[in-house]
Amino acid sequence: MKNLTAAALAAVVAIGAGQAVAAEGAALPKYDWSFSGVFGQFDRAELQRGLQVYREVCSACHGLQYVAFRNLEALGYSEDEIKEMSAEYSVADGPNDEGDMFERPGRASDYFPSPFPNAKAAAAANNGAAPPDLSLMAKARPGGPDYVRGLLLGYEDPPAGFEALEGLNYNIYFPGNQIAMAAPLFDEAVEYTDGTEATAEQMATDLASFLMWTAEPYLEKRHSMGVKVILFLLVFTGILYAAKRKVWSDLH
């Protein structure tokens, strides 16, 4: 009887867990990011590789509207390199003296141009699901960079009996398990300029790290300032405690 109850309980729990997985996506693997922890800082090489993945793969469909080319200085690029990179993009400007809009090469002060003029156009070109802007993606999903990395590596063959809807792809980490985006990364999808071997896992990690930077560009300053503030407050609070003890000593 006892065993039966236990088995029934286990079944209920298992069904419950199964439902939870279907609704929220599987538990994300935790990656040991260079920027996590109190002293965490970005890895410049990783960010540069992530930028390369964004430019060569993601930017075909996803915008990065809150990031300006000038911001890339934080990744370790020189002013000239940034000028060169931004000039590769064509940016809409205007109106000119004739009242017409025109295209011109990008400048350091420009923001990454979005691949589609608006969300409707983006949805129309992508089977009805507009690819979201990536600037804040690493803060806009539970799990943050772990989610970004997991999602990019979470494409698997669907389990037996799972019917994905027309045009949707099976992904173990996506809520509902059916995502419009096809698996974007495969080994050697880019050729890293720094010679790193471009495995899918390497690219997913680099990109997630890069997107953490685009979402939280002041993370390094926040961490280093925080350490100083905490150290100051520890000493200051110690002094305040000593002062309190001194003031109250004549009462006890």
Partner 1 sequence: MSGLKTNNAVIRWIEYRLPIFSFIDHAVGSGYPTPRNLNYWWNFGSLAGLALVIMIMTGIMLAMQYTAHVAFAFDSVERIMRDVNSGWLIRYIHTNGGAFFFIVVYIHIFRGLYYGSYKAPRELLWILGVAILLLMMATAFMGYVLPWGQMSFWAATVITNLFSAIPLVGESIVTWLWGGFAVGNPTLNRFYALHYLLPFVIVGAVVLHIWALHRFGSSNPLGIEANGPQDKIPFHPYYTAKDAFGVGVFLLLFAGIVFFAPNLFGEPDNYIPANPLSTPAHIVPEWYFLPYYAILRAIPDKLLGVIAMFGSILILFVLPWIDRSPVRSAKFRPIYKQFFWIFLADCIVLGYIGAKPPEGIFLIIGRLATAYYFLHFFIVFVLSYVEPRRPLPNSIGEAVLKGGGAPSAAVAREKA
- Binds partner 1 (CB under 8 A): choice among 113, 115, 132, 158: 132
Nearest approach in angstroms of CB 108 to partner 1 is: 14
- By DSSP bridging, strand 178-179 and strand 169-170 are antiparallel
Q: Which 43-82 positions form the footprint of partner 1 (CB under 8 A)?
A: 66, 71
Query: Is residue 222 at the binding interface for partner 1, with CB under 8 A as the rule?
Result: yes
Q: How many residues bind partner 1 (CB under 8 A)?
A: 35
Query: Is residue 26 at the binding interface for partner 1, with CB under 8 A as the rule?
Result: no
User: Of 71 and 205, which CB lies nearer to partner 1 in the complex structure?
Assistant: 71
Query: Is residue 218 at the binding interface for partner 1, with CB under 8 A as the rule?
Result: yes
Work out the angle at residue 190's Cα, subtended by the Cα atoms of residues 31 and 120, and round it to the nearest 5 degrees.
Answer: 85
Q: Are 33 and 145 in contact (CB under 8 A)?
A: yes
The whole-angstrom separation of Cα 56 and Cα 19 is: 37
Query: Is residue 139 at the binding interface for partner 1, with CB under 8 A as the rule?
Result: yes
Query: Is residue 10 at the binding interface for partner 1, with CB under 8 A as the rule?
Result: no
Stretch that binds partner 1, among 87-95, 178-186, 195-203, 244-252 (CB under 8 A): 244-252
The whole-angstrom separation of Cα 200 and Cα 47 is: 16
User: Of 35 and 190, which CB lies nearer to partner 1 in the complex structure?
Assistant: 35
- Binds partner 1 (CB under 8 A): choice among 21, 91, 123, 140: 140
> What stretch of H or E contains 205?
helix 200-215
Joined together, the tokens standing for residue 102 give 């025109």
The whole-angstrom separation of Cα 231 and Cα 235 is: 6
Query: Is residue 225 at the binding interface for partner 1, with CB under 8 A as the rule?
Result: yes
Q: Which 156-215 positions form the footprint of partner 1 (CB under 8 A)?
A: 175, 215
Question: Looking at the DSSP assignment, which residues form a beta bridge with residue 169?
Answer: 179
Q: Are 126 and 180 in contact (CB under 8 A)?
A: yes
User: Which of 58, 75, 115, 83 is CA-nearest to residue 214?
Assistant: 75
- Binds partner 1 (CB under 8 A): choice among 13, 23, 121, 125: 23
Query: Is residue 92 at the binding interface for partner 1, with CB under 8 A as the rule?
Result: no
How many helices (H) and strands (E) in the chain? 8, 4
Nearest approach in angstroms of CB 220 to partner 1 is: 12
- Other Cβ atoms within 10 Å of 129 Cβ, number: 13
The whole-angstrom separation of Cα 125 and Cα 120 is: 9
Query: Is residue 243 at the binding interface for partner 1, with CB under 8 A as the rule?
Result: yes
Query: Is residue 30 at the binding interface for partner 1, with CB under 8 A as the rule?
Result: no
Q: Where does this chain bind partner 1 (CB under 8 A)? A: 23, 38, 66, 71, 132, 135-136, 139-142, 144, 175, 215, 217-218, 222-223, 225-227, 229-230, 233-234, 236-237, 240-241, 243-244, 247-248, 250-251
